[in-house]
Amino acid sequence: MPESTPVKRTLGVCYYPEHWPEAQWAQDAARMAETGLTWVRIGEFAWSRMEPKPGQTDFGWLDRAIDTLGAHGLKVVLGTPTATPPRWVVEKYPDMLALDKDGRVRGFGSRRHYCFSHRGYRAECARIVGLLAERYGANRFVAAWQTDNEYGCHDTTLSYSPPALAAFRDWLAKKYPSPQLLNQAWGNVFWSMEYESFDEVGLPNLTVTEPNPSHVMDFRRFASDEVVAFNRIQTEIIRKFSAAPIAHNYMGRVTDFDHFAVGKDLDIASWDSYPLGFLSDRIEVTPEHKLHFMRQGDPDNQAFHHDLYRAVGRGRWWIMEQQPGPVNWAPYNPDPLPGMARLWAWEAFAHGAETVSYFRWRQAPFAQEQMHAGLLRPDSVAAPALAEAAQVARELTGMPDAATGKAEVALVFDYASAWAWKTQPQGRDFDYFRLVTSVYRGLRGLGLNIDIIAPDTADLSPWKLVLIPGLATLSGPLAAALAAFGGQALFGPRTNAKTADFAIPVPLPPNLPGLDCTVARVESLPPDAQVPLVGGGAIIHWHEVLEGTADVVLSSASGAPVIMRSGGLSYIGGWLDPVALAQVLRAHCSQLGIPVTEMPYGLRRRDSATHRFLFNYNAAPVHFEGITIAGAGVHWRPL
């Protein structure tokens, strides 16, 4: 990752003028400005107001809303409304609705009710985006764009509809010179699954037992490509009319499409950060950990996404939606501790965010998200987060613009590997995101700055230590970069374990030039099983049997090799528990001259180019290196 340039840090908010009486807009805008906000995101769900009937548009209200906001010194992020096609669009294209894996239609009545592959709907989107871009492309207040909203949210990347099937067959016909070569690539001889024509290929659902994993992987690659293509239609149109940067707001822990690939068509990556919702809903931690951080969120999950989207955005990234209070959608929805709406914002800035935009301005008292907090209550009284946002705004004025802090450690994140191990977990607890974040947690526990990097990163020279856990298939660029790398690369488990066709490679994995280490076989472990290691800690979840002549640098208690190493290449034959992982990371950092610090539980650190930040995710104060950081508190000092 190149040295970043210092950025101006700003705050924003999501706003829905169409939800409120026009008479209230000016007052709202004034209050936003007074709070110290810079950006207002609008428009992304308002198609039925922009175009109430086919061909009958109404942009007057939007003109006035943008003018009102602009008149108060606010900059607008204008969203395209394609995540919520109105009823008449669905009437026009009844087959635009996705089908779920069980074949059930995913109908009108909420949002994201479309299949990415439907050509008619794509044309409809191009039309409405064109109208918006043409009208607002040169608007002086429209300073950024957002395409659609949270691609893939609500499990919408994969559709099992007839249009998806047709497009998938076309995609296969482009990828494979012949059905015979597809058969060969997938190994379809296995259960007489061979095809004579691409039109015989179905979608990999509703099979008697599991479908061919190569079939599933190609369907997942196809589905990801469809998201990229869908998004690109919009960015190409917007760019014809506007020079403002374009973003998309990715949703946390959505991995069903390649965010890096979508990101290549965008100027800014942004993500929607709901720390309490995510902790309640989608993080594998112990019940005690969930309870301890119930009102704060997991101490590492936000940072991981920050670092990920910094990579996706090639340095430019935002939080487009920041949780300000309880949300409505998690199994349990507690209230954040006082201070967390400030802490979360500062943590994003510490990781290099340009903008943190709270979702939403005022809690809507109606419809699906009526229980989702805003900066204002439904009665327009300030919710607790408003003062915290204002505090952050004031604090920002006292801080210099700053570049992203330098990291000596890089961690590869690869969407295709997430698909690979969803397709073939081989053990119920093997999940790629969980694996990578477990490594990330280990690094953060040592107080390190971390860069997350793409799986096709071609230059590793900025870093001393690179971790590559669970990368299903090593890309050509990364392999070349590794060959030229002067630091330490730490692979495994399951790294380079699949060919591009999703077969087991022969020679067996990891098959790394320069490292004579072979995974002879693998096993998945049930929750309470462990393989204890020399020196403490254990392998959990996933264990590999290693062979080869490389040095054994860590062994199991029974004497089997667990980490093997030659020069700058090391391979870990298993999923390390936190104790073992910390030891391994400490040893590598020590050898590479990377200073580490044992961070207290719940305390996390991040250095920007100019400051060292500490974030206390605990409710109680923490004493650390001579200072006391209050519960839910933030501390910073110049470097």
Query: Are residues 297 and 617 in contact, defined by beta-carbon separation less than 8 angstroms?
Result: yes
- Decide: is 59 part of the binding site for its own copies (CB under 8 A): no
Which residues, 383 to 402, sit near its own copies by CB under 8 A? Answer: 383
Which of the following is catalytic: 321, 347, 354, 408?
321
CA dist., res. 12 & res. 78, Å (int):
13
Cβ partners under 8 Å of residue 287, min gap 6: none
- 369 catalytic per annotation: no
- Decide: is 46 part of the binding site for its own copies (CB under 8 A): yes
Query: Are residues 58 and 51 in contact, defined by beta-carbon separation less than 8 angstroms?
Result: yes
The β-bridge partners of 60 are: none
Query: Are residues 636 and 612 in contact, defined by beta-carbon separation less than 8 angstroms?
Result: yes
- Decide: is 284 part of the binding site for its own copies (CB under 8 A): no
- Nearest distance in Å: CB 538, its own copies: 14
Coil/strand/helix, residue 19: helix
Which residues, 138 to 197, sit near its own copies by CB under 8 A? Answer: 153-154, 156, 186-196
CA dist., res. 493 & res. 382, Å (int):
49
Select the span of 26-34, 308-316, 478-486, 521-529 touching its own copies (CB under 8 A): 521-529
- Nearest distance in Å: CB 344, its own copies: 17
Select the span of 1-9, 116-124, 375-383, 624-632 touching its own copies (CB under 8 A): 375-383
CA dist., res. 609 & res. 3, Å (int):
10
Cβ partners under 8 Å of residue 180, min gap 6: none
Which residues, 438 to 497, sit near its own copies by CB under 8 A? Answer: none
Which of the following is catalytic: 44, 51, 150, 408?
150
Coil/strand/helix, residue 18: helix
- Decide: is 207 part of the binding site for its own copies (CB under 8 A): yes
Strands (E) in 363-492, as ranges, are: 409-412, 450-453, 465-468, 488-491
- Decide: is 581 part of the binding site for its own copies (CB under 8 A): no
**Which two structure tokens, joined as six digits, stand for 196?**
């004579």
| Size of the residue set binding its own copies (CB under 8 A) | 108
- Decide: is 214 part of the binding site for its own copies (CB under 8 A): yes
- Nearest distance in Å: CB 237, its own copies: 20
- Nearest distance in Å: CB 595, its own copies: 38
Pairing relationship of beta strands 561-566 and 551-555 according to DSSP bridges: antiparallel
Report the residue from 43, 211, 445, 602 that binds its own copies according to the rule CB under 8 A.
211
CB nearer to its own copies: pick between 216 and 412: 216
Q: Which residue, 222, 178, 219, is CA-closest to 198? A: 178
Which residues, 75 to 114, sit near its own copies by CB under 8 A? Answer: 81, 84-88, 91, 98, 102-113
Which residues, 594 to 623, sit near its own copies by CB under 8 A? Answer: none
Select the span of 65-73, 245-253, 361-369, 446-454 touching its own copies (CB under 8 A): 361-369
Report the residue from 38, 146, 270, 424 that binds its own copies according to the rule CB under 8 A.
424
Terminal Cα-to-Cα distance of the chain (whole angstroms): 21
- 625 catalytic per annotation: no
CA dist., res. 569 & res. 592, Å (int):
13
Active-site residues, by number, are 150, 321
